[in-house]
Amino acid sequence: MTQIFTVTELNERIKDRLEDDARLHDLWARGEISNVVNHRSGHRYFTLKDRDSQLSCVLFRSQGSPNFEMRDGQNVLVFGDVGVYRPQGRVQLIVRGIRLDAGLGIRQMEYEALKKRLASEGLFDLERKRDLPKYPDRIGIVTSPDGAALRDVLRIIGPYPALILLSPAQVQGDGAEKSIVLALRALRGRTDVVIVCRGGGSAEDLWCFNSEMVARAIFECDAPVISAVGHETDVTIADFVADVRAATPTAAAEMAVPDLEELRSEILRAEVRMARALWSGLERRRERLDYLSRAISARRMYSLAAEARQRLDYIAERMGTAQKERLKSQRARLELAQGRLEAVGPMATLSRGYAIARSQNGLILRADDVQPGELVELLLAKGRVLARVLECKKDEDVTH
Amino acid sequence: MDLEEALDDLERIVAELEEGKLGLEESLVLFERGMSLVRLCNARLQSAEQRIESLTGELPSDLC
C-alpha cells in the first residue's frame, strides 16, 4: 500500500533512521573548514568539505570553544554524531570536538572521548573504589619481568612476608594491551591486592595504559588494584580506573604493604602493654594478698611474679634507656612485692612472734571458735604449746 | 593463622588485659596467649624470605 507522508513525517523518519544508526555516532571526520559563522547565540556553524563533497556542521555553545580560532581553509579533525535538522531537512554533523589536523592530536581526542565515556559508565566512580588490605597475604604484580619497575616494587615488598605473584606482561609496543589484559585476568582469585606498573617512558610507550580493554580489565579485577604508570606527571586511563593511583612503582609498593618498622614497634608496644597490664593487676591484688594467699599458694604467686619480671627484663633489653629506667623502677616495686609476699607466708609471720592457734575443730580465727576451759594448741616458729582457754571476749575488736 | 588474624587477636588480648576485669589466673592464661602471638608475629616478620612466583613459571635470574 502506498503511504503518503507529510514533509514533517518524512523528515522525522529520516531523522530517526540516521540518529539510530550507531555507526553515525562517535565518529571522526577530516576535512577543510568553510563558511564559518559565529552566531550570536554562541553556536558555530560551518561546512566541512573535501575535493568532492561537503557537509554542514554545528558546534553548539555547550561544547565549549575550540582551542584555536576557526577560519575558512583550515584542515581539521572533528568528532561528533550525525543528526538531522528537521525544519530544513538538513543532514549535519553535530560536533563535539575539533582539532587542527596536523597529524597530531587525534589520539589526544580519542583519549578525552574514552575518558568521558568510561566516566559516564561509572568506571571511575569513587564509591566503587575499594580499600587496600592492611596486611595482604598475596600480592599480584602485573608488569614486565625485565623492567626496573618490578625491581623497585620488590625492593619494598620483598622483606614483607607475603606471597608475591608475578603475572608477566608486555608493557609497551604492539600487543601490549592484550598482554596486560591477560596478565590481569590470570591473577583472578589468587591475590589480595594487585599492582599494575611500568617505569617512565615516552607518551607513545605508556599509551597501552590508555586503552579501553585495559581499563575494563582493571575494573573487573576481583582484588583492589594499585596503578603506577610512568612518572608522577603521567596520568593514564588505567590510573583513573584503578582503586588507587600511585605516582611511581615504588610508591605503589609502599601502599601495598605496611611499614615493617612500624609493625615491629606495634608488636613491641603490645608486649609492653600486656606486661604492664599484668603487673598492675598484680599490684592491685597486693592489697588482697591475705585472701589470695589462701586461694593460691605462695609458690604460684612467686612464679607469676617471676614471669612478669622476666618479661620486663626481656623487653627492657630491647628498649631505649628511658623505657629501661621506668622498667627498673617497676622491677624494684616487683621485688618489694615479692618480699612482702614472703612476709605474709606463715613461717615468716611466726618468726616475727605470731602463733597459729588451733582447737580440735581447726584454726581459731574468732573468739567464739572456742569455749572457756577448752584445750587449744599454739603453733610457734619453733615447737608448739598446749594451753587452756580462760575467757572468750567475743564482742571486742582486737587490734594488732 | 595469618599475620592479620594474629595481630587482631593480640590487639584484643592487650585491650582485655588492660581493662583489668579478669581474674588473676585468666589474665595469666591470656598473657601467655598474647606472648605466643607476639612470638608468632615476630617469627612471621623475620622469616620473610622473598617468596616470588611467576604465573608463567619463568623468573629473571636476578629475582630467583
ipTM value for the complex: 0.78
Q: For chain A, what percent of residues have pLDDT higher than 90?
A: 47
To which H or E segment does residue A237 belong?
helix A237-241
pLDDT score of A195 more than 80 = yes
pLDDT score of A278 more than 60 = yes
Find cell 561509572 and name the residue: A122
How distant is the Cα of B49 from the closest Cα of chain A, in angstroms? Answer: 7
- Alpha-carbon distance of A199 to A147, in angstroms, equals 7
CA distance between the termini of chain A: 126
Chain B residues inside the 8 Å CB shell of A265? none
Name the residue facing A267 among B24, B42, B50 (closest C-beta): B42
- Alpha-carbon distance of A59 to A327, in angstroms, equals 78
Name the residue facing A263 among B38, B45, B56 (closest C-beta): B45
Name the least confident of A36-50, A196-210, A332-346: A332-346
Q: For chain A, what percent of residues have pLDDT higher than 70?
A: 86
Mean pLDDT of chain A: 86
Surface-to-core class of residue A290, CB atoms within 10 Å of its CB (0-12 exposed, 13-18 middle, 19+ buried): exposed
Helix (H, G, I), strand (E, B) or coil at A120: helix
pLDDT mean over A107-114: 79
Q: Does B42 touch chain A (CB under 8 A)?
A: yes
State pTM to two decimals. 0.53
Whole-angstrom CA distances from A342 to A20, A30, A305, A347, B63 are 96, 99, 12, 9, 61
Q: Residue ranges per domain, chain B? A: 3-46
- Alpha-carbon distance of A256 to A190, in angstroms, equals 16
- Alpha-carbon distance of A97 to A107, in angstroms, equals 12
- Alpha-carbon distance of A98 to A70, in angstroms, equals 10
Maximal CA-CA distance, chain A: 140
Find cell 576451759 and name the residue: A373
Contact between residue B62 and residue A173 where contact means Cβ atoms under 8 Å apart: no
- Per DSSP, which regions of A131-171 are E strands? 138-143, 163-168
Bridge partners, residue A379, by sequence: A356, A384
Name the residue facing A134 among B4, B55, B58 (closest C-beta): B4
- Alpha-carbon distance of A251 to A231, in angstroms, equals 11
